[in-house]
Structure 1
Amino acid sequence: MARPVPSYGDETLDALAEMVRDFGLKEVRPRFRELEDAGEFPRELYLRMGELGLFSCCFPSEENPEAGYRALAVVAEQLAYTYPPISAPMNLQAATVPLTIANWGAAEQIDAYVDGLIGGRILGCNAMTEPDGGSDLLGAMRTRAVRDGDDYLITGAKMWITNANVADVAVVYAKTDPAAGHKGVSAFLLPMDTPGVVVDRVPCRVLGKLMPTNMITFDHARVPASAMLGAEGEGFKVAMSAMDFGRLTVAARSLGLAQACLDTAVDYANEREAFGQKIGNFQMIKKQIADMACEVAAARMLVWDAAVKYDEGTVPTRESSLAKYFAAEVCNRAAQACAEIHGGYAFSDELPISVYLNYAKLWQTGEGSANIQAVLIADDALGWKPMDRHRRPSFVPRPAGATA
C-alpha cells in the first residue's frame, strides 16, 4: 500500500521528500533482491543519486540555493525508508567525508574532492575505528603518523570501514604525538591507491552486499604534510565535528527505517487473517502498533530539532546526540515489533524485514554506541559534562564548484 510522505512544513522540502521516495520505491526497492544477489557494489546507484543532487544537500548552488541540514535529514530519512543500505552514502558522500574536507581542508583539497564526492563520481570513506579501539576511538588509537621530511608515514590498521574497498579517498585519523592523548591525533586526506594501503573485506552476511565493510592496513603509507586536514594535533576536533554530522544523518536514517517498519506492520495487520479476523483486531498487535506510531512521531521531532538548529547556525551536539540515541532505540523496537507481527514471514527473502532488523541494530552502534550516547546524555543532564561546552558555529559551505 502506497503511503503518503510526511509533510515537513515547507513546500521545497516536501517536494524533495516526494522525489527521493519515488526514486527509492521505483528504482531500488523492487530490485533489492536482484541487487543483493548480484553481489556487486552498486556504483551506478551512487552516480544516480549524485545526479539527482541527493548528496549536495548541504552545499548550496545556483540550482539548489536553499540547501541545508534539514534537506540532508529529509533525504537520509526517505532513502532509509525505501531500503536501508542505500542510505549509507548520506554519511560518506553527503556529510561525514565532504563536510569534513570542506570544513577543515585547504582550498586545493576542497577543489580536488568535494564536488566529486557530492556528485557520486568520487567515493569516500571515513577511517576512524580501529580493531581494538571500541568506543574509545581516539584515546586508544594505535595508528601512527611519523614525520619524515615533508611527508608523514602512516602505519596501523582501521576496522569496520564502510566502502573502503571501493573508495577513492579516505579521511584517516592517526597519532602524530602518542604522548599527548587526544591532543596528539591528526587527520589526513589519503588517496586509497597510495602505496602501502591494503584493504581486506570483512564478511558481514547479515548486512548484505550493498554496504561493504572492511579493514584497512597502512604499511608506511606516505602522504605529504599538505594532506593534513586542519593543523597537527587537531584531529580530535576534526573527528568530533565529523561525528556531529554523522549523528544527524544516522538519526534521520533510523527514523526512516522505523517509519518503514511501522508502515509494513500496519499493511500486514490489515491483510493477514487468523482465527477468522484480521490480526490488527488483536489487542497485543494494536499495542505494538500504537507504541510504534507514538515513538516514531517523537523521534521525528528530535531529528527535526537538531536539523533546524544546524540551519540556524550552530552545531547542536546535544540535540544530535539526543536524536541519534532515541531514534536508534525507536528503530530497534519498531524492527522487532514488525518482525513479531509478521511471524514466520519475517524470515522470507521476499520481504526486507530481516534487513530491517540487522540495520536497526547496526545504527544503534554506528556514530557512537547506544551506551556511549546514554553516558553523554546523562552527564549532560547531571551538569557534570555539558555536551555543548565546545559549542561552535556550524559550517556554512561555499557554493558547489566555486573557487576558494
Structure 2
Amino acid sequence: MVAQTVASRADIAAEFGSLVWEWGQARVRPRIRELEERGEFPRDLYREMGELGFFGCCFPEDLGGNDAGYRALSVVAEQIARVYPPLSAPMNLQAATVPLTIANWGTREMVRRYVPGLVRGELLGANAMTEPDGGSDFLGAMRTRAVRDGDEYVVNGAKMWITNANVADVAVVYAKTDPDAAHRGVTAFVVPTDTPGFAATRVPCRVLGKLMPTNSVTFTDVRVPASHLLGAEGEGFKVAMNAMDYGRLSVASRSVGLAQACLDAAVAYADERTAFGEKIGSFQLVKKQLADMTVEVAAARALVRAAADGYDAGFVATRESTIAKYYAGEVCNRAAQATAEIFGGAAFSDELPISIYLNYAKLWQTGEGSANIQAILIADDALGWKNMDRHRTELRRES
C-alpha cells in the first residue's frame, strides 16, 4: 500500500511537471524580454499559476488546493525555475512558507480568510522576517517590536529584502514581544498590507531582473488584532523554523530547476558553437564540465525528492530538507559557473539568461538559510552535538 501511494504521488508529480513545462514554454519563454523591459509585476501569471493548481499541491480542496502532495510541489517548483528563475518566487510565498504557516499556526478564521486566496493566486503573500541589521542572525538582530495594547498589538520597526512586499495583500511578520527573552520573545503575526502604518519600498536590484521585486518594509504604529497571532505569544521562533523547513524544500527544488536550465543551455551551446573547426562539445574539458553537471543535477534532484517524500509521509523533514537545500545550492552555483565558462563572453549578453542564472544561483544559496548556516547544522548533527530532528513533528494542517 505504501509503495502504491508513493508511486501514485510520483505519477501525479510527473503530470504536474509536464503541465508546468508546457505552460512555461507557451506563456513565459516567448514573453521574457517583453516582461523584463516593461518591469511590471506579472500578476496575471501568478493568477494563472494559481488557477492551474501550481500553488495548491500541499492543500486540501476545501482550502483551494488539490492535495497532490509535497513531491508535486517539488516538481512544480523545479520546473518553474527551469522555465525562468524569477517567476519561481511564488513557490515559496504562495505555495509554501506563507500559506502553510497560516494553515499550521493560524486560527480557523484566519486560515479560511487567507489560505484559499493565496493558493489560488487571488491574494499575494510576503514573509517579513529579515531586518536591515541581520540575516542569519535574525533573532539577535531583531529590532521590530510588538507591544500589547488591549486586544491589539502595536508594531514598530523595519524589515529588509522582503520579496513581493510592495504588491502583497498579506504578510507574515515576526516581531519581539519580549526583547529580553531571546528566541522566546519572538511572536509571529498575520498583517494585511493595507493596515495603516505598513509601508513597502522597492529596493532596486538590477542583477535580479525586474520580475521578482524585493523591498524594505517599515511598520509605524501598525495595529494588529491579537486574533492575528500565529501560534501563541512567544512562539514566533518555532513558527519561523517551521516555515523555513517548507521554504528549504521549495528553494532546493528551485535550485535543481535552475541547475537543469544551466545544463540545458550548456549542452545546446556546446553542440552548436564551433572553435578551431570543431564543436566545443568535443573538447575534453567541456565534456568534463557537462558530465559533472549531469551527475550532480541528478544527485541533487534525488536528495530533494527524498525530502519531499518525507513530508508526504507526514512529518516535517528538517534533516532531509536541510541536506537537500545545502547540496542543491552548491550544485546550482557550480552549474551556473560552468555554463558561463562554456558560453564565454556570450554569457554577459542581455540576449541570453546566463547572467540571471549566475545571480539567482547565488541568491538561492543564501535564501532560507545561508550555505554556511546549513553546513554548520549538518556538521553539528553528524557530530551528535545538535540533532536537527530534535523538534521533528507531524505536519499540522487546518482543514
> What TM-score do you get using the length of structure 2 for normalisation?
0.96
In structure 1, what residue type is equivalent to 2:185? Answer: G
Contact in 1 for aligned 2:102/2:111 (Cα 8 Å): yes
Aligned to 1:123: 124
Residue 323 (1) aligns with residue 324 (2): yes
SS of the residue 1:48 aligns to: helix
Aligned to 1:39: 39
For 1:101 and 1:160, how far apart are their aligned partners in 2?
21
Displacement after TM superposition at 1:220 (Å): 1.1
Sort the Cα spacing of 1:64 and 1:100 in 2 relative to 1 into closer, same or farther, 3 A.
closer
Contact in 2 for aligned 1:60/1:68 (Cα 8 Å): no
Q: Deviations over 1:169-203 (max 9, x none)?
A: 00000000111100010000001011111111111
In structure 1, what residue type is equivalent to 2:49? Answer: M
Contact in 1 for aligned 2:143/2:175 (Cα 8 Å): yes
Displacement after TM superposition at 1:26 (Å): 1.4
For 1:15 and 1:76, how far apart are their aligned partners in 2?
13
1:240-255 → structure 2 map (5 Å cutoff): 240-255=241-256
For 2:166 and 2:21, how far apart are their aligned partners in 1?
28
Q: Deviations over 1:141-174 (max 9, x none)?
A: 1100001111110010000000000000000000
SS of the residue 1:54 aligns to: coil
Q: Deviations over 1:30-50 (max 9, x none)?
A: 211110000100000100101
Aligned to 1:337: 338
Aligned to 2:140: 139
Structure 2 unaligned segments of length 5 or more: list them: 1-6
Aligned to 1:10: 10
Contact in 2 for aligned 1:325/1:373 (Cα 8 Å): yes
SS of the residue 2:386 aligns to: coil
SS of the residue 2:95 aligns to: coil
For 1:35 and 1:216, how far apart are their aligned partners in 2?
25
Displacement after TM superposition at 1:66 (Å): 4.6
Residue 380 (1) aligns with residue 381 (2): yes
Contact in 2 for aligned 1:60/1:397 (Cα 8 Å): no
In structure 2, what residue type is equivalent to 1:368? Answer: G
SS of the residue 1:388 aligns to: coil
For 2:249 and 2:196, how far apart are their aligned partners in 1?
34
Aligned length: 392
Aligned to 1:170: 171
Aligned to 1:198: 199
For 1:140 and 1:276, how far apart are their aligned partners in 2?
58
Contact in 2 for aligned 1:314/1:393 (Cα 8 Å): yes
Structure 1 unaligned segments of length 5 or more: list them: 1-6, 399-404
In structure 1, what residue type is equivalent to 2:335? Answer: A
Aligned to 2:55: 55
In structure 2, what residue type is equivalent to 1:277? Answer: E
Please, which moves more after superposition, 58-67 or 248-257? 58-67
Residue 227 (1) aligns with residue 231 (2): no
Displacement after TM superposition at 1:395 (Å): 3.0
Q: Deviations over 1:245-265 (max 9, x none)?
A: 000000000000001101110
For 1:342 and 1:242, how far apart are their aligned partners in 2?
38
Contact in 2 for aligned 1:21/1:79 (Cα 8 Å): yes
Q: Deviations over 1:113-158 (max 9, x none)?
A: 0000000010000000000022111232110000111111001000
Q: Deviations over 1:238-295 (max 9, x none)?
A: 1001000000000000000001101110111011111011100101101111110111
In structure 2, what residue type is equivalent to 1:205? Answer: R
Displacement after TM superposition at 1:67 (Å): 1.7
Aligned to 1:27: 27
In structure 1, what residue type is equivalent to 2:254? Answer: R
Residue 107 (1) aligns with residue 126 (2): no
In structure 2, what residue type is equivalent to 1:159? Answer: M
> What TM-score do you get using the length of structure 1 for normalisation?
0.95
Q: Deviations over 1:8-55 (max 9, x none)?
A: 983322211100001111111121111000010000010010110101
Q: Which runs of 4+ in 1 moved over 4 A?
A: 62-66
Please, which moves more after superposition, 12-21 or 332-341? 12-21
For 1:115 and 1:9, how far apart are their aligned partners in 2?
22
Displacement after TM superposition at 1:60 (Å): 2.4
Displacement after TM superposition at 1:397 (Å): 5.3
Displacement after TM superposition at 1:65 (Å): 5.4
Contact in 2 for aligned 1:98/1:118 (Cα 8 Å): yes
For 1:394 and 1:109, how far apart are their aligned partners in 2?
18
Aligned to 1:71: 72
Aligned to 1:237: 238
SS of the residue 1:23 aligns to: helix
Contact in 1 for aligned 2:9/2:71 (Cα 8 Å): no
In structure 2, what residue type is equivalent to 1:176? Answer: T
Sort the Cα spacing of 1:65 and 1:117 in 2 relative to 1 into closer, same or farther, 3 A.
closer
Aligned to 2:3: none
Displacement after TM superposition at 1:348 (Å): 1.3
Contact in 2 for aligned 1:13/1:71 (Cα 8 Å): yes
Aligned to 1:268: 269
Sort the Cα spacing of 1:8 and 1:346 in 2 relative to 1 into closer, same or farther, 3 A.
farther
Contact in 1 for aligned 2:271/2:279 (Cα 8 Å): yes
Displacement after TM superposition at 1:305 (Å): 0.6
In structure 1, what residue type is equivalent to 2:19? Answer: M
